[in-house]
Amino acid sequence: MDRLARSLIHFIKLMNELEEKGVKFKSITEPFIDSTKNQRIPNFS
């Protein structure tokens, strides 16, 4: 997959939707902040 989202806001909304469905995201080529209690992606829904 070359690109997951069109913009940062689109990516954040997509990540929030996936999290609501219990789906975890893991990039194998880029560092990514894990969704922990202290490190969460803000919800821009």
Inside any domain, residue 45: no
Asked if residue 33 belongs to a domain, the reply is: yes
> Cβ distance 17 to 24 under 8 Å?
no
| Structural domain total, the chain | 1
Phi first, then psi, for residue 27 (nearest 5°) are -90, 135
Residue 21 has pLDDT above 70, yes or no: yes
Whole-prediction pTM value? 0.54
9 lies in which domain range?
A: 1-40
Q: How far apart are CA 45 and CA 43, in angstroms?
A: 6
The DSSP letter of residue 23 is: -
Residue 1, pLDDT above cutoff 60: no
35 vs 45: CA distance, rounded Å: 17
Q: What is the pLDDT of residues 5-19, one digit of tens each?
A: 888 888 888 888 988
Q: Which residue has the tokens 């975890």?
A: 24
Please choose, from the candidates 2, 3, 39, 30, the residue with its C-alpha nearest in 3D space to the C-alpha of residue 14.
Answer: 3
Is position 32 within any domain? Answer: yes
What is residue 42's predicted lDDT score, i.e. its pLDDT? 61
Q: Quick check: is 22 in a domain?
A: yes
The pLDDT of residue 39 is above 60: no
